[in-house]
Amino acid sequence: MSGGRVGFCLSDKKRRRMNLDAFAVFCEGHGVEVVEIDLARPLAPQGPFDIIVHKLSDVIVEAEQDSQSQRLLANFQSYVSAHPATVLLDPLPAMTQLLDRFASCQIMCKLHKLLRDWHICSPPYLEIHQAGDLPSVQRALETRGLSFPLICKTRVAHGSLSHEMSLIFSAGGLVDMRPPCVLQSFVSHGAVLHKVFVVGDRHFCVERPSLKNFPSGSCDRKTIFFNSHHVSKPESNSDLTALDEQMPCLPPPSSEAVAALVAELRVQLGMALFGVDLIIDIHTHTLTVIDINIFPGYEGVPQFFSSLLGLIESVLDKRASHPPRSGGPSAATTGL
């Protein structure tokens, strides 16, 4: 395979977290050139690019209200449209849908039917579009089969506010909702979160701390507000993750089940770089999908550099053997 030219379009924070400078040096040793894209400048003079790896979540979210972000996004989309041979990792429409937890929950809900043989499911959920009368919300909860306690998450699944969540224990606590938001039934899972990091056809499973068990059913406990980053990062140390009593360790997820889940999600999402948050129900041992993440941090994955380079090389090989025809598939559909 001949070398390729790969553009990276990342926020400063994401660039530092993945240590892009070190990755560029790593790629250089394998004949692949890494170029940092400056979104504030015209892209054409910075190209050409065989592949663009990006995480434009900030820009996409901010473009809804900010004219400068709208221009940056429009310039990026114009370049992509004008250069159909450039492969995007990952397609913008696929990434955009995961920025909306309403859409993400709908994807997760499908998994129960598609992966029934693997005993994989997602918690019942309810979309709250706007503030309304609480009795109607209570009726909707009953109709959709949700039970207390409930996890309340913001609709937008990106940015610092997206990590601000709450645990609601009763109908009276529904006053603490801040629509638009998603309510999910809380599943006791032994305070262990299994984060699956996907890089093309490879995936890695890493354990993280998570919320402790809470009894099912309504109670008079006040709503608990928390930041998911403070609970589930590798270095997290929170009272919310400390189990109240000794309980047997749950078995880890079946590697076959996780592989089946990842394969199905790659098809459903049309993406190569994403993460999945899994928990195991302490009562049924069912593997439960609670979140899907765009281009996550890959913390705890020592093989990340080699895996990402392997994905890039496989895309370059595919691109070389199947060059896009004029008027053929766009870059948004040729990454996998």
Into how many domains does the chain fold? 2
**Same-domain pairing of 275 and 129:** yes
- What is the pTM (predicted TM-score) of this model? 0.91
Instruction: Write out the residue range of the structural domain in which residue 106 sits.
Output: 97-294
d(CA 28, CA 34): 8
Residue 145 and residue 9 share a domain: no
Same domain, 244 and 327: no
Distance in angstroms (rounded) separating the CA atoms of residues 234 and 35: 30
Which CATH number goes with the domain that contains 225? 3.30.470.20
Angle of CA points 307, 310, 315, to nearest 5°? 130
**Percent of the chain at pLDDT exceeding 90:** 79
Tell which residue, 156, 229, 147, 159, has the closest CA to residue 183.
147
The answer to whether residues 108 and 38 belong to one domain is: no
Which residue(s) pair with 9 in the sheet?
A: 54
**Six-digit token string for 211:** 């919320």
Pair (160, 106) in one structural domain: yes
In this prediction, residue 230 carries a pLDDT of 86
**Higher per-residue confidence, 80 vs 319:** 80
Cβ count within 10 A of residue 316: 21
At residue 238, the pLDDT reads: 80
Residues 86 and 104 grouped into a single domain: no
How is residue 121 annotated by DSSP?
E
Q: What is the pLDDT of residues 195-205, one digit of tens each?
A: 999 999 999 99
- Residue 112, pLDDT score: 84
What is the H or E stretch that residue 287 is in?
strand 287-294
**Mean confidence (pLDDT) of the chain:** 91
Quote the pLDDT of residue 17. Answer: 93
Residue 51 has pLDDT above 60, yes or no: yes
Q: What are phi and psi of 197, to 5 degrees?
A: -105, 125
pLDDT range class, residue 171, cuts 50, 70, 90: very high
Q: pLDDT tens digits for 192-251? A: 999 999 999 999 999 999 999 999 998 999 999 999 988 887 777 788 888 766 677 888
Same domain? 150 vs 71: no
Token pair belonging to 162: 């997206």
Q: Is residue 220 domain-shared with residue 238, that is, in the same domain?
A: yes
Residues 107, 209: one domain?
Answer: yes
- Per-residue burial over 274-309, b if 16 or more Cβ lie within 10 Å, else e, is bbbbbbbbbeeeebbbbbbbbbbbbeebeebbebbb
Residue 141, number of CB atoms within 10 A of its CB: 19
Q: H helices of 9-54, where?
A: 12-18, 20-28
Which SS3 state, helix, strand or coil, does residue 164 take?
A: strand
pLDDT in tens, 180-198: 999 999 999 999 999 999 9
Question: Are residues 204 and 128 part of one domain?
Answer: yes
With CA atoms as reference, report the closest residue to 283 among 175, 187, 160: 187
Do residue 225 and residue 258 come from a single domain?
yes
pLDDT at 128: 96
**Half-sphere CA count of 107, side-chain side, radius 13 A:** 25
Residues 115 and 218 in one domain: yes
Q: What is the CATH number of the domain that holds 86?
A: 3.40.50.11370
The pairing of beta strand 33-36 with beta strand 87-89: unpaired
What mean pLDDT do residues 5-18 have? Answer: 95
- Which pLDDT tens digit goes with each residue over 81-96? 999 999 999 999 999 9
> What is the per-residue pLDDT for 326?
46
According to the model, what pLDDT value does residue 325 have? Answer: 56
Average pLDDT (150-174) is: 93
Are the C-beta atoms of 34 and 19 separated by less than 8 Å?
no
